[in-house]
Amino acid sequence: MDKLISVAARLLMAQIFIISGWQKLTGYSGTEGYFAHMGIPLVGVVTPLVILIELGGGLALLFGFKTRWVAAVIALFTLAAALVAHTNFADQGQMINFMKNLSIAGGLLWFVRNGGGTASVDAAMERPSRS
């Protein structure tokens, strides 16, 4: 049961980042334009970094690779995104997105504390090899 729960938890947490990162990658110029419109500086640097964190980090989290570190990076990214993009609290949608990001960051902190679980690349790498 532990294996199933750890895989399900990683899948449910990672999917939002994988999908969002993939959309940013496949709509790269639109993503850069959106970031520029928001006033984010250095969009030529920020855009690939965001894609790497979302898509790369999401996939690493899904497979449980370097889970604690990846979850910490994504949690910080998610908090930063909340503060940069979702602070217009007069807009209820923005407030909901702000709170969603806080909740996701909280879930990611669970992975920082507990790792990827027994069915993860991390766990497989910790097992002694059979010679």
pLDDT class of 128 with cuts at 50, 70, 90? confident
* pLDDT tens by residue, 14-66: 999 999 999 999 999 999 999 999 999 999 999 999 999 999 999 999 999 99
Query: pLDDT at residue 127 above 90?
Result: no
Is position 21 within any domain? yes
Query: Residue 127 falls within a domain, yes or no?
Result: no
- Owner of token pair 């640097």: 45
Q: Is residue 77 part of a domain?
A: yes
Residue 128: inside a domain: no
pTM of the shown model:
0.92
Interval 63-118: pLDDT, tens? 999 999 999 999 999 999 999 999 999 999 999 999 999 999 999 999 999 999 99
Q: How confident is the model at residue 130 (pLDDT cuts 50, 70, 90)?
A: low
The span from the CA of 98 to the CA of 103, in Å, is 9
- Per-residue pLDDT, 1: 83
Q: Judge whether 130 lies within some domain.
A: no
Query: DSSP string covering 67-81, please?
Result: HHHHHHHHHHHHHHH
Overall number of domains in the chain:
1
| Domain assignment of residue 43, yes or no | yes
Residue 34 lies in domain: 2-117
Residue 125 within any structural domain of the chain: no
- Look at residue 88 and tell me if it is in a domain: yes
